[in-house]
Structure 1
Amino acid sequence: MSQFPNPHLIEFPKLGEPGIGYISVTEQSQLVPFAVQRIFWTYYTPESIVRGRHAHHRTEQVLIAAAGRITVTTELADGTIELFRLEDPHVGLYVPPQAWHTMQYSHSAVQLVLASVPYQEADYIRNHDEFKRIWTSQA
């Protein structure tokens, strides 16, 4: 059995009101289940493009739609597939290493990603059959 939890939504505090706006915040280890080592964001992704199409050996992530809408599909090695629609900036999606994931964006979407390790190309599993082989053998 995996040492990581399955993909799940994380709701961050939403502080404020319509007349003045909102802020969402978390502090280290409060809601994000790992130490954040890398932060990146994607934007201006055409709606017809599907990004992701990979899993990781080690990297845990929280994906947040800071603006717009992001549809995330996760697949575990046991075949469990879930669809998540991120469109509220105070909700993030935890994606563990064992989850193959794809993302599709509205044109105005800005995706903020919190990651547990610095970028390393060797951490990416870009072949779906390899993903199934690796993570099925560790289950």
Structure 2
Amino acid sequence: MTTIADAKITDLPKILDRRGNLSVIEEWKEIPFKIERTYWIYDVPGGEVRGGHAYKENQEFIVALSGSFDVILDDGKERKTFSLNRSYYGLYVPNGLWRQMENFSTNSLALILASIPYSKDDYIYDYDEFRNK
């Protein structure tokens, strides 16, 4: 059974340079899975919420490349909010947690690295079904 304690913030390597800084994410190093899919969320209107589901198999690593937003994780017993607002750290989200994203700042950009290709069968959209699994 996955719990909130399985999710974690990870500091990413920072290469500081007077011309601009650089950070990197490599599979099996900063994240504990092979990257099979990458997507990003942007232009989120004020007050909108993204997510509102759990994954059966998919794991994710979420980075705020620009701006800020909150990721709310729920294991069915406990909820925790992670505020992401720097491009040099990210949030590892294991499978089996309910995930929601909200409080997007203007011009925020969320990068999500996923462990499996998209599959509609991997999603649980009903919170009661999620709690009863």
Q: TM-score range by the shorter chain?
A: over 0.9
1:10-35 Cα deviation digits (max 9, x unpaired): 11011114x32111013221111011
Answer yes or no: is the 8 Å Cα contact 1:4–1:96 preserved in 2.
no
Corresponding residue for residue 119 of structure 2: 120
Structure 2 stretches lacking a partner, 5+ long:
none
Q: Distance in 1 between matches of 2:25 and 2:93?
A: 17
Corresponding residue for residue 105 of structure 2: 106
Spell out structure 1 runs of 4+ moving beyond 3 A: 1-5
Corresponding residue for residue 7 of structure 2: 7
Q: Distance in 2 between matches of 1:44 and 1:27?
A: 27
Corresponding residue for residue 23 of structure 1: 22
Q: Distance in 1 between matches of 2:121 and 2:52?
A: 15
Structure 1 stretches lacking a partner, 5+ long:
135-139
Answer yes or no: is the 8 Å Cα contact 1:46–1:106 preserved in 2.
no
For residues 123 and 4 of structure 1, do their structure 2 counterparts lie closer, same or farther at Cα, with a shift above 3 Å needed? farther
Shift, 1:9, TM fit: 0.5
TM (norm. structure 1) is: 0.89
For residues 72 and 4 of structure 1, do their structure 2 counterparts lie closer, same or farther at Cα, with a shift above 3 Å needed? closer
Shift, 1:2, TM fit: 4.1
Q: Distance in 1 between matches of 2:24 and 2:51?
A: 26
Give the partner amino acid of 1:25.
V
Shift, 1:98, TM fit: 1.2
The sequence identity of aligned pairs, in percent, is 33
1:72-121 Cα deviation digits (max 9, x unpaired): 110012x1111111000011101111110110111211000000000001
1:98 aligns to what SS in structure 2?
coil
1:21 aligns to what SS in structure 2?
coil
Equivalent in 70, 85, 88 of residue 83 of structure 2: 85
Give the partner amino acid of 2:96.
Q
For residues 26 and 52 of structure 1, do their structure 2 counterparts lie closer, same or farther at Cα, with a shift above 3 Å needed? same
Give the partner amino acid of 1:8.
K
TM (norm. structure 2) is: 0.93
